[in-house]
Amino acid sequence: MGEIEQMKKEAEALKTQIEAARKAVHDTDMASAASGVAPAPRVQLKTRRTLKGHLAKIYAMHWSTDNRLMVSASQDGKLLIWDSHSGNKVNAVPLKSSWVMTCAYAPSGNLVASGGLDNMCTVYNLKTPVIKTVKELDAHTGYLSCARFLSDTEVLTASGDTTCALWDLETGKQKTVFLNHVGDCMCLSLSPDMNSFVSGACDSLAKLWDIRDGQCKQTFLGHTSDINAISFYPGGNAIITGSDDCTCKMYDLRADQEVISYQDAALNSGVTSLALSMSGRLIFAGYDDFNCNIWDSLKGEKVGVLSGHDNRVSCTGVPPDGMCVCTGSWDSFLKIWN
């Protein structure tokens, strides 16, 4: 057992080394550095649309790249495709398993995906005369918490089995498996250049991965509970996370550490979801307390609230053109605000 003891010692020494290296570059934090920046305007958004149609809790939503269509998933066993401008439902996709936890729109607009407690990611073609199941991606040994399309031929998934995976849609097989988390993976976000992604997990860690070689490149500490939501900052040099510990945090990738925490003593509900405005200045974070709080990402101050849901806000999303924010809730409604 001497070898294991030695390795444990080396692991502890490396962790100490990493902590020291982070401290050495920690010459300020984001809020102090942003003291000269003009405050963000007080943000008062109005509900422009309330999308009614789901019959049970909404768990996920995702915007199409056309800034108009969006997909939502509910435990009523359906995916609904909405035209957000008219508020009309364009398509309904019945799911084999109603225990859905995630949905995604392919950048092309041709495909959508869903998954959940069935441990699978099912991909549907929206463009055939009748919506058809294209593939069932079946290899995870735990629930599917998040899925994102890289293209019409590649999908990234995060799972309760503690792994993430890159799938080839033509073969239906995993091309790369990302192993390193020791808790259920809950969320993922693709980098703007599509060469890497970040994942958040129940081990309270966020990790940065190289998509092609599967290597975990960086690990971000700081949260004290499950990370439920994660997003790349536009520009790709930072990430924002949201956690059951009731805080959101920004980690800078190049400084390799937490640079600001978005929290308030009065807030004691977990963060379920988050989305960023186009410039990254505003963070829209959904909480268990039925609200969506708006944070100034540079100064760490709360600058607005979106109140209107009658139950937990489970998902948020900003379309690529940044024209609005959509919130989805366990109250079965989606709301569009700007």
Partner 1 sequence: MSGSSNIVAMKKIVQQLRFEANINRVKVSQAAAELQQFCIQNALQDPMLTGVSSSTNPFRTQKVCSFL
- Chain positions contacting partner 1, by CB under 8 A: 1, 3-4, 7-8, 10-11, 14-15, 17-18, 21-22, 24-30, 33-34, 37, 40-41, 43, 45, 48-49, 68, 84-85, 180, 215-219, 233-235, 237-238, 252, 254-257, 259, 277-282, 297-298, 318, 321-325, 336, 338
Residue 332 beta carbon to partner 1: minimum distance, rounded to whole angstroms: 20
CB of 76 or CB of 256, closer to partner 1? 256
Residue 29 beta carbon to partner 1: minimum distance, rounded to whole angstroms: 7
Residue 49 beta carbon to partner 1: minimum distance, rounded to whole angstroms: 6
CB of 21 or CB of 55, closer to partner 1? 21
DSSP state of 38: P
CB of 125 or CB of 277, closer to partner 1? 277
**What b-and-e string marks burial along 197-234, b requiring 16 or more CB atoms within 10 Å of the CB?**
bbbbbbbbbbbbbebeebebebebebbeebbbbbbbbe
Angle (CA) 155 160 161, round 5°? 90
Task: Specify the 3-state DSSP secondary structure of 23.
Answer: helix
Residue 223 beta carbon to partner 1: minimum distance, rounded to whole angstroms: 17
Residue 213 beta carbon to partner 1: minimum distance, rounded to whole angstroms: 12
- Burial level of 6, CB count in 10 A (0-12/13-18/19+)? exposed
Amino acid making up residue 301 = E
Torsion on CA atoms 28, 208, 276, 315, rounded to nearest 10: -130
Name 178's bridge partners.
164
Amino acid making up residue 269 = S
Residue 318 beta carbon to partner 1: minimum distance, rounded to whole angstroms: 8
CB of 168 or CB of 256, closer to partner 1? 256
CB of 1 or CB of 266, closer to partner 1? 1
CB of 195 or CB of 215, closer to partner 1? 215
d(CA 109, CA 228): 26
d(CA 328, CA 111): 21
Residue 36 beta carbon to partner 1: minimum distance, rounded to whole angstroms: 9
d(CA 50, CA 306): 13
The residue written with tokens 């520009």 in the block is 235
CB of 13 or CB of 56, closer to partner 1? 13
CB of 92 or CB of 323, closer to partner 1? 323
Residue 260 beta carbon to partner 1: minimum distance, rounded to whole angstroms: 9
DSSP state of 31: H
d(CA 51, CA 69): 12
CB of 30 or CB of 230, closer to partner 1? 30
Residue 68 beta carbon to partner 1: minimum distance, rounded to whole angstroms: 8
Inter-residue contact 208 to 223 (CB < 8 Å): no
Task: Specify the 3-state DSSP secondary structure of 12.
Answer: helix
